[in-house]
Structure 1
Amino acid sequence: MTDMNDYDENEDTTVDDDEAKAAEKGGSDSEDSISDSDLAEAETLTVTAKQKQRQTLEDEVAAFLARGGKITEVPPDESAKE
């Protein structure tokens, strides 16, 4: 059975402020990319809150893929090369 979604088929090429900030944060050269506040928040979340965040992330990934986005998996033993 194929999963169906009702995401808009039109490609959204605009980048909002949240996406831009996330891209900048993800592109940092810092080895420790998890901030202390993010770690503290993660440690205090309940199981239900974590499940909700996981579901939100899954929905966002599905929407990204539906818009034509691609995810490239890099083997764990290789470094990213530009």
Structure 2
Amino acid sequence: MKAKLGVSALVLLFLGGLWLIAAPFAVGYQPRGGAYVDATINDLWLGGLLAGVSFVALVVYAADALRELANRGKHVADA
């Protein structure tokens, strides 16, 4: 149960980071063709950091889950 909650939180953080990256353009507070305003720069950095860290955490979790499955398979084959 805890693992599902953790993965769900990481997915939500990843999606939140993607939204922060897209928000200046989707909402329209970044002028088209203009220099990036401070809010856009902030959203891009924070969204990129949030999406990147959560993506790396998801990859680490998936690798650990695959390693656990491989170990279980090895123990079943040895028995």
What is the TM-score when the length of structure 1 is the normalising length?
0.31
Structure with more contact order per residue of length (Cα contacts < 8 Å, sep ≥ 6): 1
Higher Rg of the two aligned structures: 2
More helix per residue: 1 or 2? Answer: 2
What is the TM-score when the length of structure 2 is the normalising length?
0.32
